[in-house]
Structure 1
Amino acid sequence: MTADTIELALEGAGAALAAESARFAAFGWMRGTSGNLSVVVSRDPLRLAVTASGHDKGELTPADVVLIDGQGAVVLGGRPSAEAALHARVAALTGAGAVVHVHTVASVAMGHRSPDGIVFRDLEMLKGIGQPAHDVEVTLPVIANSQDMTELGDRLEAAYNPQIPAVVVAGHGLYVWGETPRQARHHTEVVEWLLELELSGR
């Protein structure tokens, strides 16, 4: 990619991530400056636009993004989220075009309640992540948290379940992905709905 192409791609990615962040913040899923989002702008070499660190996610502008490489190192811009390297790892592992990380009460509570994984079945909302509504069990992985993104990435890769585009990080929050920012948003909303239902003790 040329410098001009990168700049245009980063600007477009920034606008998309600002809009998605505002939506999630309005739900109360990105309180304070928590959470982060990314979108792949190049696959070979792998480059992602990631929301910048320390910003209120309900007030992001298209400029509040950082371009990172496949290891999470900065290529262009300021300081990315501390979890930038995990976004890159998820994109490389799953082929996702966008990754969402939110801090929801339901994901933290259910991760504590079901540390070996959260099982869903016989729910119409499973169609929202590409699974049958009946007669299939889908397990959302739960992994232990770590401040070391390499270690956390290894845990995510070991627990990765192709049936569900998400993982709960215990005591931390929810990572979800999709082919596009819009699909990642839909997946996030569906998985969070499933978590809230389980938390309600249905």
Structure 2
Amino acid sequence: MTGPGRNVPDLTEAGAVLAAEAARFASFGWMRGTSGNLSVVTSREPLRLAVTASGLDKGELTAADVVLVDGDGRAVRGGRPSAEAALHARVARLTGAGAVVHVHTVASVAMGRRRPAGIVLRDLEMLKGLGQPADGPPVVLPVIANSQDMKVLGDRLVAGREPRMPAVVVAGHGLYVWGGGPREARHRTEIVEWLLELELTDPGGCTR
């Protein structure tokens, strides 16, 4: 289930993976209350994703707390998916990702306010975890304006994303990160959050 092209016919299996990932992120304080959502692609043709159910404490999810959605984010099986399921599906179509993470971190919201034109990163070993050389040219973590309309938000992500960066900050909202599967998406989320926290504690340090 870790690759973008593999099918995951068992929704309960996908739910167990997402519950474990959500518990990890919740333990960091990145999914407070019922905020945030996670998804994993279960099939490509047709596109189907398992998405965490809406309105639940992400630190207490079970394997059953997941909804199967189609390529437009509409529920196919299960209860009510996150309102942002449509954006997860669009990211999967756009990037070929096998998993998408959305967390509400203080660092992502704060840095979105400080750097509304994008967060420039360079000369950091941690960039290797995002597939970028530590001593290469600068890479920009995009910041896009928020919207409650997932079509509008998706259009902004398409227009603003940086192909070298598997993540985007949504201003006043949080962080979206994607990867080939749940583990890669998790690792990338942790790395991007580390970079954001560094910039918060050492303003300008990533761009000096």
Which TM bucket (shorter chain)? over 0.9
> How far is the alpha carbon of 1:48 from its aligned partner?
0.2
> How far is the alpha carbon of 1:146 from its aligned partner?
0.1
Structure 2 gaps, min length 5: 1-6
Provide the C-alpha distance between the structure 2 equivalents of 1:157 and 1:95, rounded to a whole number of angstroms.
Answer: 13
Provide the C-alpha distance between the structure 1 equivalents of 2:10 and 2:128, rounded to a whole number of angstroms.
Answer: 32
1:114 alignment counterpart: 115
1:160 aligns with 2:184: no
Map 1:16-165 to 2 at 5 A. 16-165=17-166
Question: Per-residue displacement from partner, 1:21-41 (whole Å, max 9, x unpaired)?
Answer: 000000000000000000000
So what's the TM-score if we normalise by structure 2?
Answer: 0.93
- AA of the residue aligned to 2:149: D
> Alpha carbon RMSD of aligned pairs, Å?
1.1
8 Å contact kept, 2:41–2:99? yes
Provide the C-alpha distance between the structure 1 equivalents of 2:76 and 2:159, rounded to a whole number of angstroms.
Answer: 28
Provide the C-alpha distance between the structure 1 equivalents of 2:8 and 2:138, rounded to a whole number of angstroms.
Answer: 44
- AA of the residue aligned to 2:98: G
Identity of aligned residues (%): 77
Question: Per-residue displacement from partner, 1:149-188 (whole Å, max 9, x unpaired)?
Answer: 0000000000121111000000000000000100000000
**Secondary structure of 2:58's aligned partner:** coil
Provide the C-alpha distance between the structure 2 equivalents of 1:132 and 1:59, rounded to a whole number of angstroms.
Answer: 37
Provide the C-alpha distance between the structure 2 equivalents of 1:9 and 1:41, rounded to a whole number of angstroms.
Answer: 8
**Secondary structure of 1:132's aligned partner:** coil
Map 1:162-201 to 2 at 5 A. 162-200=163-201, 201=203
**Secondary structure of 1:59's aligned partner:** coil
- AA of the residue aligned to 1:92: R
Question: Per-residue displacement from partner, 1:134-160 (whole Å, max 9, x unpaired)?
Answer: 132010000000000000000000012
Provide the C-alpha distance between the structure 1 equivalents of 2:145 and 2:10, rounded to a whole number of angstroms.
Answer: 34
So what's the TM-score if we normalise by structure 1?
Answer: 0.96
Structure 1 gaps, min length 5: 1-5
> How far is the alpha carbon of 1:69 from its aligned partner?
0.3
8 Å contact kept, 2:107–2:193? yes
CA pair 11-141 structure 1, distance change in 2 beyond 3 A: same
How many aligned residue pairs are there?
197
4+ runs deviating over 6 angstroms: none
Q: Which has the higher helix share?
A: 1
